[in-house]
Every structure is written in C-alpha cells, then in structure tokens.
Chain A
Amino acid sequence: MTTAKNLDISVHHVTRVEGHGNIVVNVKDGKLEKCELNIVEAPRFFEAFLRGRNWKESHLITSRICGICSPGHQLTSLKATEDAMGIKVSEQTVLLRKLMVGGSFLQSHVLHVYFLVSPDLVGAPSVIPLASSHPDVVKRALRLKKLSNDICDVVGGRAVHPITMVPGGFTKIRSAEDLKALRKRLADSVPDILATVELVASLAGKLPAFTRDTEYISLGGVDDEFPLYDGKICSSDCGLTSDKNYRKMTNERVVPHSTAKHTAVSRSSFMVGALARCNNNFDKLNATGKGAAKALGYSPKACNPYFNNVCQVIEAGHVVQDMIELIDKLLAAGVKDEKVPEIKPKAGTGVGATEVPRGILYHEYTYDENGTVVDANCIIPTGQNCANIDDDMKKLVPEMLDAGKSKDEITFALEMLVRAYDPCISCSVHLLDVQFV
C-alpha cells in the first residue's frame, strides 16, 4: 500500500513515444512538490539552418524535422512561402495536397493506435505478443499503413519526404488511372477502418476516466469541411482568429525542465491534436467520422485527454471517406498535367498553418528580394502540448493518491497519458544487435 504522504516517480525515457522524455513526480508530506514531463532532447536549430537558404529549399529542409509528419511540414512550409510571395495555387493542387494530408493522417493515426496505444489497453508490454495472439489485427494495421504510404507515394513521389510538392504546385502529376486505382484501394479499406473502430470501441472502456477541461486549439472557421489543410485558428476559449496571429495563440516561453518550449493562451496551458480538432469541429466530420464517433462513445466536448486516441480513430475514418471524395472531385474535373508556374521570388513575410496528426503546426518565413530566408519560426504541436501534459499530471496524481492507487498504477497512468498525446520528440538510429544462438 502506498501512503498518500510520500511518492517519488521517475520514469527515465517514456517508451512508445517519439524520442526521449522523462516523467518526474515528487510528493512530500502529502504535498505535490514536482510533477512534470522533462523533455531531454537536444534543440534541433532548424530555424537557424533555414537562414541564408533559398526559398526553393525551405520545404525540403523543414520536411526533415519529422519522418512521420514530413508531408505536413512540407505543406505548412509551402503555404508559408506562397503566402510570403503572393503565389496562388490551382484548385487541382489544393485537392492533391488535401489528399496528401489524408494519407499522412491515416498513416500516423493507424500506427499510433495499433502499435503504441493498443498494447496498454490489452495489458501487453508491446505489439509483439499481439502479433501471435491477434495476427489478423496486426496484419490489418500493416495493410492500412501500406495503403497510406502508397497514397503519399502516388501524390508526392515517395512516402517519406515527398519530392513532387514545390511552391506553386507539383512537379509531376500522376495519371487518372493511378488515382482510380488508389480510389479502389481506399474503398476496399473501409472494412478495415470499421474493424478498427470496432476494436478500439471494445477497448475504450479501459481508458482512464480522467477529465480536465482545458483550452482546445485547432484550425476552424471553414464552412464546408473538417479543416485540416486550411482555416483560421480556432480556440474553444477565444473563438476564431487569423493564422497571422499565431504568436498570440502560442506565446512560447522557455521553462527550466524542458528543452521544448511551453505555450499558453488564455489559461496556463492548451491542447492541440485529434481531441482538440474533434471538440472544435465535430459538426464538420463526414458520415464515416461521425459514425465512428458514435460507435466509440465520443461526443463533443470531451475533456478526457486519453480520448485523443479515440479521436484519432474517428479521424482515420473521416480521412478515408474524405480521400475517396477528393479523388472523385479530381477525376470529375479531369486530371490535368499542370506545370508549375514560373515564379519570381520577392521579399516578404508569410505564415502557414495546417493540421498535422499531432495538432496545429505553424511555419513563418521572411524572405529578402532574392528569396533568401532571413528569418524563420516553426511551432510544433508537441511543444504546444507539453504544458498541458504537465497540468494533466498535476491533477491526475493527487486524484489517484486520494483514491489510494499504488505507485505502479500511478506510473502506468502517467505513461499512458504521455502516450495519449502521441508526442513526437525526435528521430533515432536503427541498428541490429545480434547474438547467435
């Protein structure tokens, strides 16, 4: 039995998240002295890399911020560059870019829910035991991953760090036949999506029943669609504002315990990501998304951060239907082999804001008259969520102590909480360690 008087938790490198973060909790004489997520990764200096580089390189460099969200970083970067130079893109370009968004959301959400979250819900340490106990489930996850990779490959020329997206459009447009083949595979994947919803619905009862109301920030203010590629900044506390005001909607500040900056707007913290998007824009989800929400027991506004994972499944359903409709629009309009227009660089400052799987992402660049970057700023979703995770932990730990939970139970709930946010802290090396038997 744990006494509620003293508690020390130190989780060195939370597992099943991107990169390295530590959880530190310290309760002394019944008083919560410390409760925080320490981000211990070294700073990345991408903004400094960009200074002095050419406008045609910005999206290629920032793509490398993340191997999972590389399409999202590219799209945000392209929008910032196009905003700075007043470049307009065609309707076909926008539709193809939205298709790219859908593919990257499907990939990220499927992997996160199946490989990183589901082991917690079935009491497994990782996905490996699931591969033998539930091979069909793991195979389904791999099928959906392959499909989403192929979508990004068809649209962007390759799945990770796409190569055909440039300021002003695409360097190569795939044929109508390629898009039709993709449409068929998307339609064929609907049973896999429904099975995913069913699986997570059967496990959703295992998510901790914890709630804490916070400010939810996402894109918003788009009339006819669930905003992922474009829109205004929408706060559940302060309403809509232009993406030009993103600094006021983040207010980055340095804190001692984290190399990731913290952010706050109207409260001490806010949340971005799937839960924020569903809370702010639920009405705009399509039938597949809303159907998933119903099956999963989600209705807005939900204030349980663990429900971020439920909302990822809702969005996975939404984007599959959305991508089918996007391809239908592209085919109906006739796929045109559009060339990228001649662009003469000019001086200016521009902002791009898009949703990426983990939340709203901002890039801002200032170019000189030659199109050289003189200033850059990128604000990543995980950074925006860090303060919110700390605030969740500060409410969760005393509640669990009061309920007489053990140190192990509290530690597990905290690790699950961090994973629920799907934080993306860094990238790593891949190497085999082999012993022969």
Chain B
Amino acid sequence: MARVRIIGVGNEIAGDDAVGPAVIMALRQRDLPGDIELISVGADALGVMEYLQDDCDAIIVDAAHMGQVPGSVLIFPASRAKMTIVSDAFSLHGIGLSYALKIAEQLGLAARVTIVGIEPESIEPGHGMTAAVAAAVPAAVEAVTKLLNSKCRAACTPGGAASAPA
C-alpha cells in the first residue's frame, strides 16, 4: 500500500476550527495500519499542498460547514464536493482549504484526496471546542482508521492495487 498522508487543518485558537489538529493528535496515540504520515498544518491551508503528490493518497481532516448537525462526521472525496470560495478571500493568512484544493485540482494533485469533515458549531476566536465537536473527535478518528483499513484491504486483497497482475 502506498504511503497515506493524514493532514489536519485548522486554527487551534478558533473554537471548533481546532478539530483537525485535535484528530491528528488523537491519531498519534493509535497504532495505524500501513505506511502513514501524520501532519498538522495548523491554519496554513496552503501548506497542505506541500503534502499532495500524484503518487500518494491523502486524507484531510478539517472542520467543514456541510449543513449537518454540529459534530457530524462525513467522509467524501475532494472531487465530490463543491467548495465555496468566499468572495476572493485569498491572502497569505486568509487562504482557505477550499482555495488550496482548487489549486491542487488544477495542478492535478487532488485526485487522491479524501476529506473527513466535521461540522462545527462555533468558530469564534478562543481556546476549546464546543462539547458537540469535542465529542466527535473519536468518531473522526474511527472514520480515518476505517478509511485506512479499507485502503489496506484493497492493497492486500487479490484484485487490489498491490497484487494486480502486471
């Protein structure tokens, strides 16, 4: 199985936006299957692009407004979501993940990106997540682990990528 990069994005002092880095921290306590790299890029969403390569799977964990109940965890390929770029909000500080992924898509680097989104309740400045989102961290960790397990199975099972006939 090829290396999988798991990338947490979020500002740790913006309420529930901290959930991405929090999930990465929780994953560090786990034994994870396969060749895994855990990365926390903090608020530097453009930094995500440094880890996207065409020969490497990536799982991005981030707070996401998905119209769900706060604390909901959804898994979806980056290509399946239409991410809103709020006005032309690009700045060195203000770049959102949606912007970074759009650039990655144009560069052909987003095809192997899966997103684990966690619906936030509040992203007001300040330490600490809301109870609903803090309680969602284990579910997000499970979601990532399941994704890794299925990638492993795909790689190790006959017909999977690793054993596909040449």
Contacts and interface: CB of A to CB of B under 8 A. Distances in A.
Interface of A: 13, 15-19, 67-68, 108, 111-112, 115-116, 125-129, 131-132, 135, 138-139, 142, 145-146, 149, 160, 424, 426-437
Contacts of A19: 91, 93-94
Contacts of B45: 430
A127 B17 CA distance: 25
B93 A432 contact: no
B65 interface: yes
B84 interface: yes
A432 B62 contact: yes
A430 B103 contact: no
Contact of B42 (A17, A108, A112, A160): A160
B25 to A, nearest CB: 16
Contacts of B11: 429-430
Given A18-B92, A18-B94, A426-B93, 19 more contacts: A15-B88, A15-B90, A67-B92, A116-B91, A125-B88, A127-B90, A132-B106, A138-B107, A424-B93, A429-B17, A430-B10, A431-B17, A433-B64, A433-B65, A434-B65, A434-B82, A435-B67, A435-B81, A435-B83
B107 A430 contact: no
Contacts of A16: 88, 90-91
Contacts of A432: 62-65, 83, 96-98, 115, 117
A434 B64 contact: yes
B120 interface: yes
B83 A433 contact: yes
B141 interface: no
A18 B81 contact: no
Is the contact region of chain A dominated by helix, strand, or loop, or is it mixed? mixed
Contact of B44 (A125, A160, A424): A160
Contacts of B125: 429
A145 B45 CA distance: 13
A372 B106 CA distance: 52
Closest 9 CB pairs of A and B: A131-B106, A432-B64, A433-B84, A132-B106, A15-B88, A429-B14, A428-B94, A131-B103, A437-B82
A427 B103 CA distance: 21
Contact of A434 (B88, B103, B117): B117
B15 to A, nearest CB: 9
A431 B63 contact: yes
Interface of B: 9-11, 14, 17, 42-47, 49-50, 62-67, 76, 80-99, 102-103, 106-108, 115, 117, 120, 123, 125
A435 B98 CA distance: 11
Contacts of A116: 90-92
A145 B46 contact: yes
A59 B164 CA distance: 55
Nearest to B99: A128
A434 B92 contact: no
Contacts of A125: 88
B95 to A, nearest CB: 7
A326 B43 CA distance: 31
Contacts of A131: 102-103, 106-107
Contact of A128 (B10, B43, B103, B123): B103
B43 A433 contact: no
13 contacts: A67-B44, A68-B92, A128-B99, A145-B50, A429-B14, A431-B17, A431-B97, A432-B115, A433-B65, A434-B84, A436-B66, A436-B80, A437-B82
A100 B42 CA distance: 21
Nearest to A135: B107
A128 B47 CA distance: 16
A132 B88 CA distance: 18
Contacts of A160: 42, 44
Q: Max chain A CB contacts within 10 Å: which of B43, B108, B117, B125?
A: B43
Contacts of B17: 429-431
A421 B93 CA distance: 16
B65 A429 contact: no
Q: Max chain A CB contacts within 10 Å: which of B96, B108, B115?
A: B96
